[in-house]
Structure 1
Amino acid sequence: MRTVMWSKWASNLLLFAVMAIVALMVYWQHKLISLEEQQKSFGDKLGKVSQTGAIRGVQNGENTLHTYEAMDNGPTDDVRDNTVIIYNRIPKTGSTSLMGIAYELCTKNGFHVIHLNTTKNSHVLTPEDQLRFAQNVSGWLERRPAIYHGHLGYIDFASLGVFLRPLYINVVRDPLERLVSYYYFLRYGDNFRPEVVRKRKGNKETFDQCVLRQGADCDPVNLWMQIPFFCGHHSVCWEPGSSWALQQAKSNLAKSYFLVGTTESMDEFVTLLEASLPRFFRGALNLFNQEGKSHLRKTFGKIPPSKETIKAIHKSKVWQMEQDFYMFAKKNFNAIKKRALPSNGSAPITPQFRFEKIRPK
């Protein structure tokens, strides 16, 4: 009896051991196949890079920074495909021209463009909407890579507890030129949507005449636009003449913006965008230089202000502060151009760093 029970127990133990061995074999075979597939996928990508010469000198233990560009042949799991750009556009700085290019390139280059439409064209959001916006942008993985654009003050994602760090870009313009352009835009519109009836349609008063009678539309307080856009959503940012807002705007530009260009150097701004963010802006300069593209939106009826008008505006504290910020941004952009573009500004300078002495080999 004991012999029969022992024999049965031994048979069950042997059967269990065989089943365990089979299960382990199946598991490790699956892991091996998965590893081979990963190696093949990586090898394919590495082959694409090698074909373009992107990893010249790897055998010598050195590398260059062209790897991203070489692997950018379509949607992949690469970290670049999670890039989010926010362009918080300042009115009348040439942003329509730039976004027109982005919309033309998005399908070809494989990214998304999303416009942020705010109620009553407000430039600020409530705290609730700021958080909702940041969370939506962070979680909308199906719409990456992406450019979000709209007339909105800077939003600090880190202060909202969101881990995404978007790349902020922007364009600034001479403050008085921007105000004059907006003044006539309200009266005559532009060639982008000429059929739209503007707020001041029929008002023939020139900017000079408005300044002479100290009208509301030409009040220097209306210059207060670029500083608050860079300053952000704090209430003090939108108080004309705030010294704190000016310093905060400069700080945000220096710390949180990837690139800030100027309206008068838009072609060089586009050149730098194409060189540094090719997934988004590959082909942008060619589009920009096409006839009719570089001045996509032109204000009708604009008359340059007189010397007397300019002198009067320059006495304003708001103009002086906006001009200070504009020159701060312009100086930085000019320094970037000097480092990144050759003297003729035709194409970016080749990469100026590489990886080397990589160990172990």
Structure 2
Amino acid sequence: MISLNRNQLLFCNLCVLVLLFIYIHSRLNTTLYADYPKIPSLIHVDPQLEQIVIYNRVPKTGSTTFTNAVAYDLFKLNGFNVIHLNMTKNRQVMSLTDQSEFITNITSWKERLPAFYHVFDPLFFQLLICSLTFYPILLTVMLQTFDECVARSGRDCDMKQMWLQIPYFCVLLKCSFYLFKAKKNLLDKYLLVGISEQIRDFIAVLERLVPRFFKGALEHFDGLSDSRSHLRYTKRKYPPSDQTLSVIRRNEVYRLEKEFYEFAKEEFQAIFKKVTNGTNNARDVLHLKSQYHYEKIKPERPFRV
């Protein structure tokens, strides 16, 4: 028969108590958290696989060139989906019910993620063009010059037709208040708004900002033939006369559109100057090192959830 002295007996009792405490503690945890919903682990989910990019297309601003010669060429290389959203009767704005359904559709359509939608807050970006550049392009297709149309007050050059770019940023009436609103939306709701005469710089910035979609875009664009890098490019352009310019510049619609364009241009050029560190060279956007670093990190070891 084994006999235990007092110290050995105390040690055995202590071990039993410790084991009993561990058992009770584990049982309590199991009971307390049994009714809580299990939170799926997100550790292995790459957020880039669920990115959605929306390109808000404005007519005659280089949007066809950008979409066809860049997006539709890169989707195979970078592994994303390209989808054109066709708005009934070329509407510029969705109804509230359509907006609700659209958001539900694009976020739940997992088989088509990541996705690049091009339409007339996911990620927004856009290209603009100077209004007076846009108008002569349209009129040359109609077998009359812009000057002739303005001189006879033709319907095709009605200034209402020039009210084009601001509505894509603010779908309200044309007045200075809505110009202010369009500027605010440009700053607050768009990742990037470029200008057509700097489309190459625009592509370089997008490649740096959204590499999941635009990796290799600048090199690809530089390698395009002239016919593909300027799709729907109008060869017959006739600059308007001084008399025509004088008539147009007195119109409120033109002044608002011009001011908005200059605002967008100034904003883009300021962004481009910063991301190139002052060189204004598109290639430098891709190679510029980050201008920040982390320090004074506490605690030394990260908390584990």
TM-score range, shorter chain: 0.7 to 0.9
| Cα-to-partner distance string for 1:189-214 (whole Å, 9 max, x where unaligned) | xxxxxxxxxxxxxx422111000111
Identify the match of residue 186 of structure 2 among 253, 257, 276: 253
> For residues 232 and 195 of structure 2, what CA distance do their matches in structure 1 show?
16
| Cα-to-partner distance string for 1:78-131 (whole Å, 9 max, x where unaligned) | 112221111110000001111121111111101111100122222222222122
User: How far has the Cα of 1:141 moved from its partner?
Assistant: 2.1
Identify the match of residue 94 of structure 1 among 48, 58, 62: 62
Within 5 Å, give how 1:32-111 maps onto structure 2: 77-100=45-68, 101-111=70-80
Give TM-score, length-normalised by structure 2: 0.78
Query: Is 1:359 aligned with 2:303?
Result: no
Query: Is 1:347 aligned with 2:281?
Result: no
Query: Is 1:215 aligned with 2:154?
Result: yes
> For residues 259 and 113 of structure 1, what CA distance do their matches in structure 2 show?
19
Identity of aligned residues (%): 42
Corresponding position of 1:175:
131
Identify the match of residue 92 of structure 2 among 123, 128, 147: 123
Within 5 Å, give how 1:1-361 maps onto structure 2: 77-100=45-68, 101-151=70-120, 165-184=121-140, 187=141, 203-232=142-171, 237=172, 239=173, 241-290=174-223, 291-292=225-226, 293-341=228-276, 342-348=279-285, 349-361=288-300
Shifted more, 115-124 versus 256-265: the winner is 115-124
Counterpart of 1:218, as a letter, is: C
Unaligned runs of 5+ in 2: 1-26, 28-40, 301-305
| Cα-to-partner distance string for 1:243-269 (whole Å, 9 max, x where unaligned) | 232111111101000001000111100
> For residues 179 and 204 of structure 1, what CA distance do their matches in structure 2 show?
14
| Cα-to-partner distance string for 1:131-182 (whole Å, 9 max, x where unaligned) | 211221222222111111121xxxxxxxxxxxxx401100111011122223
SS of the equivalent of 2:260 reads: helix
SS of the equivalent of 2:264 reads: helix
Question: What is the aligned-residue RMSD (CA, Å)?
Answer: 2.1
User: How far has the Cα of 1:310 moved from its partner?
Assistant: 1.5
Unaligned runs of 5+ in 1: 1-23, 25-37, 43-75, 152-164, 188-202
Counterpart of 1:204, as a letter, is: L
Runs of 4+ in 1 over 6 A off after TM superposition: none
> For residues 182 and 82 of structure 1, what CA distance do their matches in structure 2 show?
39
SS of the equivalent of 1:254 reads: helix
SS of the equivalent of 2:156 reads: coil
Corresponding position of 2:33:
none
Q: Is the 2:92–2:167 contact (alpha carbons within 8 Å) kept by the matching residues of 1?
A: no
Q: Is the 1:261–1:333 contact (alpha carbons within 8 Å) kept by the matching residues of 2?
A: yes
SS of the equivalent of 2:298 reads: coil
| Cα-to-partner distance string for 1:19-59 (whole Å, 9 max, x where unaligned) | xxxxx9xxxxxxxxxxxxx9xxx8xxxxxxxxxxxxxxxxx
Counterpart of 1:206, as a letter, is: T
Counterpart of 1:86, as a letter, is: I
SS of the equivalent of 1:217 reads: helix
> For residues 78 and 355 of structure 1, what CA distance do their matches in structure 2 show?
23
Q: Is the 1:112–1:144 contact (alpha carbons within 8 Å) kept by the matching residues of 2?
A: yes
> For residues 355 and 346 of structure 1, what CA distance do their matches in structure 2 show?
26
SS of the equivalent of 2:240 reads: coil
Q: Is the 1:85–1:147 contact (alpha carbons within 8 Å) kept by the matching residues of 2?
A: yes
Q: Is the 2:200–2:282 contact (alpha carbons within 8 Å) kept by the matching residues of 1?
A: no
Q: Is the 1:179–1:222 contact (alpha carbons within 8 Å) kept by the matching residues of 2?
A: no
User: How far has the Cα of 1:357 moved from its partner?
Assistant: 2.7
User: How far has the Cα of 1:300 moved from its partner?
Assistant: 4.4
User: How far has the Cα of 1:322 moved from its partner?
Assistant: 0.6
SS of the equivalent of 1:355 reads: coil
Counterpart of 1:107, as a letter, is: K
